[in-house]
């Protein structure tokens, strides 16, 4: 089954800067989701964007989806040290009952 490919693998920024993470995929999807994982913890759902949507916002998060390029980006504005975590994209609808995850981007926000 296909998996999202995330870029970059690691990102290190200063507090207050914006962080952008990208996810590319190869086949059609129904939706694309982003999750956050703090060290040693379970994943937490951040946002879902459907295949017929181009942009979605939630607080300091902005997600875009370009189905023609088969790619999505997650933008975190005005990053905080508390945003330090791993971020995963997940592809939904490629196969009933299955949600496939990318390898993740490790974000470090320095105070």
Site map (CB under 8 A) of other proteins, residues 29-68, x = contact = -xx-x-x----xxxxxx--x--------------------
Measure Cα distances from 50 to 59, 92, 95 in Å.
18, 9, 15
Told to check if 82 binds other proteins by CB under 8 A, we report no
Nearest approach, Cβ of residue 72 and other proteins (Å): 16
CA distance 67 to 53: 9
CA-nearest of 85, 53, 86 to 72 is 53
Residues within the interface to other proteins (CB under 8 A) = 1, 3, 30-31, 33, 35, 40-45, 48, 88, 90, 92-93, 96-104
């Amino acid at each position: 089954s296909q998996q999202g490919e995330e870029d970059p693998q690691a990102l290190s920024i200063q507090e207050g800067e914006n962080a952008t993470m990208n996810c590319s995929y190869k086949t059609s999807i129904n939706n694309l989701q982003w999750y956050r994982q703090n060290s040693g913890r379970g994943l937490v759902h951040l946002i879902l964007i459907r295949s017929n949507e181009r942009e979605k916002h939630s607080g300091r998060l902005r997600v875009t989806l370009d189905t023609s390029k088969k790619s999505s980006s997650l933008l975190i504005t005005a990053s905080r040290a508390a945003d330090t975590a791993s971020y995963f994209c997940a592809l939904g609808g490629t196969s009933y009952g299955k949600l496939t995850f990318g390898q993740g981007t490790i974000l470090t926000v320095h105070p």
